[in-house]
């Protein structure tokens, strides 16, 4: 295959991202259990940023690497042992799971025993730099680039993808425009949905608080409007996101931008006995601890956002036990991707899950603009388009 383009992440400089759109060679023959996908679009997730901002060697992560784990596109070639897929099929991509361990067998693939190694670290062998002292036709001298991040490395025009990550969208999408719109379903949007439907499971008596109104938080908030609940509180420091949360059905919103806001006290002024569920998508220790203080008896704190790596949440065991509260980790919404993606598309078509209000498109070459929009909060979910790269 001729050289293609990918966003290559190199070791960060003083924690600043070092991403560049570079020519690369991608293997044109998928191995067993793999497919070659031509990407149409890929969402930018906070995890892409976090896991390319850590020093080389942290948690086994190495550079250079191709990030991206919310991809969509078309299958161009199929490897051995792949069934249910054909060349030309449109596909939506999600995370890797082995399909064989006890967690996979019990329908919790996000807690697969191989999740961390296969999704966070990836593999070598499918992508190399496109320049070489030995010439373009020789692999000798080319730089090896890690790929198969989340089994897909979708920040590339072409990518080798594990079959476990693939949701066949042949009967789910009506156009290439929808294929682009649905790209983030396989991570961010399913995570927010699953946090409510699979983990928090609110009832008609429950008040749900969502800390952070990015794509995951707003997906959680939209899901509360579909499931039983008493009220929803959306919390952020960006006015446009608070307004969007109101439009999407939030009962209350709280602006945390003023310095004198003591969040749990504001929440308790609305519901003096505390709230039933707090979904944290921020990873901010202060927000997490305020959320815990706002819980009522038997309340649930669901942790999604990535906190500082050294952060430890301390609780009083006696108070925690007597209150019957739960602190629950959440990866990928504890979803089975194929089922989650199909459900989210159905909700979208029914007008219940309007992700088009959250998505902003960028050409892949303009990824720096996408990152800037995510950083200043003007963009909720950035989706990169690869067709003209």
The CATH number linked to 36 is: 3.90.180.10
User: Are residues 42 and 84 both part of a single domain?
Assistant: yes
Nearest-CA neighbor of 166 among 106, 99, 66? 99
Kindly report the pTM of this predicted structure: 0.94
User: Are residues 81 and 169 both part of a single domain?
Assistant: yes
pLDDT at 134: 44
Instruction: Tell me if 346 is assigned to some domain.
Output: no
pLDDT at 140: 59
Sign of the alpha-carbon torsion through 344, 348, 352, 353: positive
The CA distance from 50 to 54, in Å, is: 7
For residue 14, give both structure tokens.
């003083």
User: Are residues 137 and 194 both part of a single domain?
Assistant: no
User: Are residues 273 and 206 both part of a single domain?
Assistant: yes
The CA distance from 223 to 46, in Å, is: 20
Domain boundary among 316, 333, 350: 333
User: Are residues 152 and 34 both part of a single domain?
Assistant: yes
Instruction: Tell me if 245 is assigned to some domain.
Output: yes
Q: Within a 13 Å sphere around the CA of 159, how many CA atoms are in the beta-carbon half? A: 40
Q: Please count the structural domains in the chain.
A: 2
The CA distance from 313 to 137, in Å, is: 53
pLDDT at 14: 77
For residue 182, give both structure tokens.
């649905």
User: Are residues 152 and 233 both part of a single domain?
Assistant: no
Nearest-CA neighbor of 20 among 95, 149, 129, 142? 129
Residue range of the domain that includes 293 = 189-333
For residue 389, give both structure tokens.
């790269």
Q: Which residue stretches of the chain have pLDDT < 70?
A: 132-141
Instruction: Tell me if 347 is assigned to some domain.
Output: no
pLDDT tens figures, 60-101: 899 999 999 999 999 999 999 999 999 999 999 999 999 999
The CA distance from 200 to 325, in Å, is: 12
Backbone φ and ψ of 193, nearest 5° = -60, -50
What DSSP designation does 156 have? Answer: B
Measured between alpha carbons, how far apart are the two ends of the chain, in Å? 16
Cβ-proximal residues to 102 (8 Å cutoff; 6+ apart), any chain:
113
User: Are residues 380 and 316 both part of a single domain?
Assistant: no
- Residue ranges of E strands in 240-280: 252-255, 275-280
The CA distance from 151 to 121, in Å, is: 10
Contact (Cβ atoms closer than 8 angstroms) between residue 223 and residue 249: no
């Amino acid at each position: 295959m001729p050289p293609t383009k990918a966003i290559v992440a190199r070791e960060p400089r003083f924690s600043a991202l070092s991403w560049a759109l570079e020519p690369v060679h991608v293997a044109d023959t998928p191995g067993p259990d793999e497919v070659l996908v031509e990407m149409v679009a890929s969402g930018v997730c906070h995890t892409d940023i976090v896991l390319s901002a850590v020093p080389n060697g942290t948690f086994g992560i190495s550079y250079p690497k191709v990030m991206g784990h919310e991809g969509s596109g078309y299958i161009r070639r199929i490897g051995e042992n792949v069934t249910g897929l054909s060349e030309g099929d449109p596909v939506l991509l999600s995370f890797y799971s082995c399909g064989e361990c006890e967690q996979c067998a019990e329908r919790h693939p996000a807690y697969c025993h191989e999740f961390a190694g296969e999704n966070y670290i990836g593999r070598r062998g499918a992508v190399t730099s496109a320049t070489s002292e030995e010439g373009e036709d020789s692999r000798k001298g080319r730089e090896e680039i890690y790929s198969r991040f989340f089994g897909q490395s979708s920040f590339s025009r072409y990518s080798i993808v594990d079959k476990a990550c693939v949701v066949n969208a042949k009967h789910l999408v009506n156009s290439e425009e929808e294929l682009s719109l649905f790209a983030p379903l396989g991570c961010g949007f399913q995570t927010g949905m699953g946090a409510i439907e699979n983990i928090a499971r609110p009832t008609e008596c429950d008040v749900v608080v969502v800390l952070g109104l990015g794509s995951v938080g707003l997906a959680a908030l939209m899901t509360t409007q579909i499931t039983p609940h008493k009220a929803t509180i959306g919390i952020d420091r960006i006015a446009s996101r608070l307004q969007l949360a109101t439009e999407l059905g939030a009962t209350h919103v709280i602006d945390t931008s003023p310095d004198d806001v003591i969040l749990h006290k504001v929440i308790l002024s609305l519901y003096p006995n505390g709230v039933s569920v707090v979904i944290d998508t921020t990873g901010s220790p202060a927000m997490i601890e305020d959320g815990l203080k706002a819980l009522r008896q038997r309340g649930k704190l669901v942790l999604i956002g990535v906190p500082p790596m050294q952060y430890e949440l301390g609780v009083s065991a006696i108070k925690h036990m007597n209150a019957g509260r739960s602190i629950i980790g959440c990866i990928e919404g504890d979803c089975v991707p194929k089922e989650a993606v199909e459900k989210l598309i159905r909700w979208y078509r029914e007008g219940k899950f309007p992700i088009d209000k959250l998505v902003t498109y960028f050409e892949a070459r303009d990824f720096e603009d996408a990152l800037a929009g995510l950083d200043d909060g003007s963009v909720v979910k950035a989706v990169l388009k690869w067709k003209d790269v």
